[in-house]
Amino acid sequence: MMKTSLVTVVLCLMAGAIGAQTDTVLERILVKVNGDIVTKTDLENRQINTLRARGLENFQTDTDLRKALQEVTPQVIVNAVDELLLAQRGRELGYRLSDEQFRKLLDGIKEENKFQSDEQLIAELQKAEGMTLADLRRVLEQQMLISQVQQIEILNKVTITDIEAREYYDGHLQEFTEPATVTLREILIAVPQSAAGVNVAADDEARAKAQAARARVVGGEDLARVAAEVSDAPSKANGGLIGPIRLDELAPTIKDRIAALMVGEVSEPTRLTQGYQILKLEARTDAQPRPFDQVRDQISNSVFNDRRLAAFDQYLERLREQAIIEWKNEELKKAFEQRLAARATAPGA
């Protein structure tokens, strides 16, 4: 059990590793974004919520918790600034959470949580989150503003045409190609092992038994039936069936053995560690691209999502460049800038 609570560790680390200069500053403003502020309490609440989302059971010691806190803080402060910028843009565009919309949201929260009255909701809100109804309204309005800006300013402007989808398909054909497969049936005649090594007589007997089994199959008997009678492989319960299995997942030795086989042909017995194995090539499918019409929606979703993320990042970058951001904490400023730089240089950025 941890002796220090999650909130306490967050507060201690804020007071230490984040390195604010005075208690007065810690308790108040950490950064101003076009006049709107992120306070110490705002940041702590975000940190705590982020760590809770990771699952408290993952943090066995205070050291684990502190390490996780240091890891999440850069992204947490980036998110805090970006959300302020998006909410500000939403207000500039004239969006707001009306009394009627807020009422509907409250009714939905009450119904989902089976609260019988506003008073019960308010009491639970204060108990669980330390929030007032006014706090809840600010949070909901910010979420609404951010969602509206994303929809109007970004999503509605991101498209992919049929021509672009086709070009993507042609340029990434391997992604949509079903791999070559084979279906095999086997018979395995085991050779008993002993401390003295392989018994020659037992080996000869097993080889002869395997050759006899192959002769029965070549002569027209169903391999599945023969396997059920004489095979020592676990697959005998399934008529010796192996697959369908991707050709590139087969062992090289098996690929070599079946390479020259036509569908329906049976290999000669081959000596393995366990004994003598016979393989029949039951079926073979070649690598085949899926038709464009089958993957059109998949391509659209994938490309659209990539474009949406790229457009969102570019949009936020413009908002940051145009914003007046005043840092009251140099450690947080450094974490913010380092996180943005890391994202810009990440693969696929």
| 255 shares a domain with 193 | yes
List the beta bridge partners of residue 285.
181
Distance of CA 141 to the CA centre of its chain: 29
Residue 164 lies in a domain: no
- Burial class (CB within 10 angstroms; exposed 0-12, middle 13-18, buried 19+) of 76: buried
Residue 114 lies in a domain: no
Residue 227 lies in a domain: yes
Residue 110 lies in a domain: no
The angle that helices 118-129 and 133-149 make with each other, rounded to 10 degrees, is: 80
Residue 159 lies in a domain: no
| 83 shares a domain with 12 | yes
Handedness of CA 127, 130, 132, 136 (dihedral sign): negative
If you average pLDDT over residues 34-43, what whole number do you get? Answer: 91
Residue with tokens 């007589």: 201
For residue 218, give its domain range: 180-286
Number of domains in the chain: 2
pLDDT for 348: 56
Dihedral over alpha carbons 91, 93, 97, 99 (to 10 degrees): 110
Position with higher pLDDT, 152 vs 349 = 152
| 253 shares a domain with 185 | yes
- The model's pLDDT over 125-175, given as tens digits with 9 standing for 90+, comes to 888 878 889 989 999 999 999 999 999 998 888 888 889 999 999 998 988
Handedness of CA 331, 336, 341, 347 (dihedral sign): positive
Which of 231, 251, 286 terminates a domain? The answer is: 286
- The model's pLDDT over 42-101, given as tens digits with 9 standing for 90+, comes to 898 899 888 888 776 667 777 888 888 889 999 999 999 999 999 999 999 999 999 999
Residue 339 lies in a domain: yes
Residue 204 lies in a domain: yes
| 189 shares a domain with 264 | yes
Q: How far apart are CA 216 and CA 314, in angstroms?
A: 70
| 233 shares a domain with 272 | yes
Q: pLDDT tier at 300 (50, 70, 90 boundaries)?
A: confident
| 88 shares a domain with 1 | yes
| 238 shares a domain with 319 | no
Handedness of CA 107, 110, 113, 115 (dihedral sign): negative
| 80 shares a domain with 25 | yes
Exposure pattern of 213-226 as b/e (b: 16+ CB <10 Å)? Answer: bbebbeeeeebbeb
The token pair at 158 is 């991101």
Q: pLDDT tier at 182 (50, 70, 90 boundaries)?
A: very high
| 270 shares a domain with 333 | no
Residue with tokens 């087969």: 250
Handedness of CA 62, 67, 71, 74 (dihedral sign): positive
> Which one-letter amino acid corresponds to residue 217?
V
Residue with tokens 């989902």: 112
Position with higher pLDDT, 306 vs 5 = 306
CATH at 270: 3.10.50.40
241-246 sheet: strands from edge to edge: 241-246, 181-190, 275-285, 270-271
- The model's pLDDT over 94-135, given as tens digits with 9 standing for 90+, comes to 999 999 999 999 999 999 989 888 899 999 888 887 888 998
Q: pLDDT tier at 197 (50, 70, 90 boundaries)?
A: low
Residue 151 lies in a domain: no
| 337 shares a domain with 254 | no
| Lowest mean pLDDT across 32-41, 47-56, 322-331 | 47-56
